[in-house]
Amino acid sequence: MRPALLDPLFAPLNSLPGTGPKAGELYARLLGRETIDDCRVLDLVFHAPHSIVDRRHQPGIARSPQGVIVTITGRVDRHQPAPPRTNQPYRVFLHDDTGELALTFFRVKGNWLEKALPIDETVTVSGKVDWFNGRPSMVHPDYMVRAAEGENLQLVEPVYPLTAGLSARILRKAVEAALTRVPEFPEWIDETLMRKQSFTSVHDCFLALHDPRDETDIDPQAPARRRLAYDEFLAGQLSLSLVRQRLRKVAGTPVHATGELSRPVLAALPFSLTGSQTTAIADVLKDMAGDERMLRLLQGDVGSGKTAVALMSMLAAVEAGGQAVLMAPTEILARQHFATLSKMAAPAGITIDVLTGRTKGREREAILERIASGETRIVIGTHALFQDTVVYSNLLLAVVDEQHRFGVHQRLRLTAKGISPHMLVMTATPIPRTLVLAAFGDMDVSKLTEKPAGRKPIQTVTIPTERTGDIVARLRTALAEGKKAYWICPLVEESDVSELMSVDERFQVLVKEFGPKVGLVHGRMNGAEKDAVMLAFKNGEIRLLVATTVVEVGVDVPDATIMVIEHAERFGLAQLHQLRGRVGRGDEASTCILLYKGPLSENGRARLSILRDTEDGFLIAEEDLKLRGEGELLGTRQSGTPGFRIASLEAHGDLLEIARKAAAYIIDRDPDLTSPRGEALRTLLYLHRRDEAIRFLRAG
């Protein structure tokens, strides 16, 4: 049960003022939740300000610097309304001892300005000053009050991330109401660490987080932020340790590989394994031969040969008399793995089946029967593999592809079903070490660092969108020579908010150029539609595939040699690297064209040049972490990834190490969290929505 102490924080967000039905959708968008019903008071308490407005700067009108927020107190001299039926602004002039200032307002209706700024009244205004031809003006001041009421002006004000349509004032009111519900928490950090790090109580840290007095309070190293970041890391590491402890407690079945199936398969492979593939296979076989369950993360760049490692691991399970499954995040990928693995495993002569949400009726029943009887030795599929209707004869190994779409919670669910196979998790996204610790601290790691022989480097170029016409001309030549190309866009449909090129719109433009050779794939299409288009692309009926990032993961069309990515400046580095990895899979030279809309920021230029200069996914991931932070690096928070709300791996990496050690120590001394400190730690886990780990404690 969640401690009653937390009830006020887990109350629905719409119990706060200013969060009614109208604003609900805006809050949901701001807080990254599906609907307002998923938002809790807690979400606003964790919604930290990113900067401050400092109204303490009161230099006088003549000494106000350009473009800086200042506070001015002066006497109102005259009003100059806009002439009728013009686009001219309404101006109000005021003066102080140093000079005259024009307050400028556009599209003014009614007489509210005459009431707000009466002539001869002394008023205090705050906003940015702009100088033009030696005269200062302030457009739409943030604040205007009569000097007599000026004492109430908040001189230092936090600035929060916002979403279109939600005003800062309304959000601030809701945050203030949320803060009144923050209770005094029991202390879960030990005294020595509290003293050493100068941490104060959680309650005080939340209040300080939302009441910054100057720039240093917004800095990630501010004491309140460090304490809250440590808590976030500790909750994460503790839940990972609990998972690991439970998963390890369920004994694994030792798997002893005989080589009887893997030998003929290896002999028939058209390539020899790389050094790191051989090492990774040895790591896996050693883990599976022990009494404890294997929990291993296999990291390998696009095209580094993870599939071969997975196959050798699965064959070992089959040699030991068991079954193995490979679970992929999407239907397309599952069917592709099935095609690849069936071909590779043919010399071993074993039955492989594929099971996805789209396998229906008789075909499904026949497959389920073969799995239950043990006739099927290897099953490939999507989440459908772990539904209640699927019964295994003797499942010894689960291989999960694309880890960050399959978080800790799913690993728990699998085990909760009473299935306790060894687990090998593969990711094609090279993840920096700190992030591996944060997200997958419960796993051992193998890395594939070489590319299989025969892969040609991909030439990467950056080109501004103004030259799109040149790209289309180049494509015309390439397609006439029988080549295949991808064209990636960031959005599904045109929206008013963004002038990014939508995938539908780009598709229409390219169809006019190239006719029926162009196909379209995006996330809103259903599985069958996507598969049909991908198949047509693979078979060459379609030569140019216009797509969103649905093709990012694993789609294999070896003869595609050109990748155009539109608005490349909007994508993360790791994602661009993933997309680029869709070409260069055959023996022909390949090109990746990054189309960007200038002017690029310093950061944007740095990111695109890293991609141009290297194909080393691990290096790119480290750089991406430096440039963008970890929240975006693994995609969205919703996919069960560590999208930290306060903590940042760059700023608080030192605290992550401390949290890991603390979690290990706690689990060692109090594995069921029953001591007084253990009880406090349960509160911490609930506060950070790590309930799965607690349910697991009870189940254990």
DSSP letter for each residue of 244-258? HHHHHHSPPPP----
Calculate mean pLDDT across residues 662-677: 92
**Domain boundary assignment for the chain:** 4-52+159-219, 56-153, 276-448, 458-614
Half-sphere exposure (Cβ direction) of 358: Cα atoms closer than 13 Å: 12
Sorted by sequence, the CB contacts under 8 Å of residue 226 that are 6+ apart come out as 197, 199, 220, 652, 655
* CA-based nearest residue to 507, from 495, 496, 519, 525: 519
> According to CATH, what is the number of the domain 458-614?
3.40.50.300
Token pair belonging to 65? 């610097």
Sorted by sequence, the CB contacts under 8 Å of residue 433 that are 6+ apart come out as none
For the stretch 84-93, pLDDT in tens is: 888 889 999 9
Distance from C-alpha of 684 to C-alpha of 141, rounded to nearest angstrom = 43
Calculate mean pLDDT across residues 588-612: 86
Buried b / exposed e along 537-547 (16+ C-beta atoms within 10 A):
bbeeebbbbbb
* CA-based nearest residue to 444, from 574, 292, 320, 620: 292
Token pair belonging to 566? 């539109």
| Residues 470 and 597: beta-carbon distance below 8 Å | no
Q: Looking at residue 205, what is its pLDDT?
A: 97
Average pLDDT, the chain: 85
For the stretch 51-61, pLDDT in tens is: 888 888 889 99
Task: Specify the CATH class of 276-448 in words.
Answer: alpha beta
| Residues 543 and 466: beta-carbon distance below 8 Å | no
- Distances from the Cα of 282 to the Cαs of 14, 264, 289, in angstroms? 55, 18, 11
What end-to-end distance do the CA atoms of the chain give, in Å?
A: 16
Q: Looking at residue 38, what is its pLDDT?
A: 83
For the stretch 256-304, pLDDT in tens is: 999 999 999 999 988 889 999 999 999 999 999 988 888 888 988 767 7
Q: What is the DSSP letter of 423?
A: E
Half-sphere exposure (Cβ direction) of 558: Cα atoms closer than 13 Å: 9
Q: The pTM is what?
A: 0.60
Buried b / exposed e along 369-395 (16+ C-beta atoms within 10 A):
ebbeeeebbbbbbbbbbbeeebebeeb
Distance from C-alpha of 247 to C-alpha of 412, rounded to nearest angstrom = 8
Q: Looking at residue 469, what is its pLDDT?
A: 92
Half-sphere exposure (Cβ direction) of 33: Cα atoms closer than 13 Å: 19
Distance from C-alpha of 171 to C-alpha of 160, rounded to nearest angstrom = 8
* CA-based nearest residue to 255, from 282, 293, 292, 289: 289
Q: How far is CA 433 from the centre of its chain?
A: 17
**Which fold is adopted by the domain 56-153?**
OB fold (Dihydrolipoamide Acetyltransferase, E2P) (2.40.50)
pLDDT band at 348; cut points 50, 70, 90: very high
| Residues 215 and 670: beta-carbon distance below 8 Å | no
**Same fold for the pair 276-448 and 458-614:** yes
Q: Looking at residue 638, what is its pLDDT?
A: 30
Which amino acid, 322? G
For the stretch 136-183, pLDDT in tens is: 999 999 888 888 776 767 778 898 988 888 888 889 999 999 999 999
Distance from C-alpha of 499 to C-alpha of 494, rounded to nearest angstrom = 8
pLDDT band at 637; cut points 50, 70, 90: very low
What strands, in cross-sheet order, belong to the sheet with 122-128?
A: 130-132, 135-139, 100-105, 90-95, 69-80, 122-128, 143-146
- Distances from the Cα of 618 to the Cαs of 88, 296, 301, 634, 635, in angstroms? 56, 18, 8, 14, 17
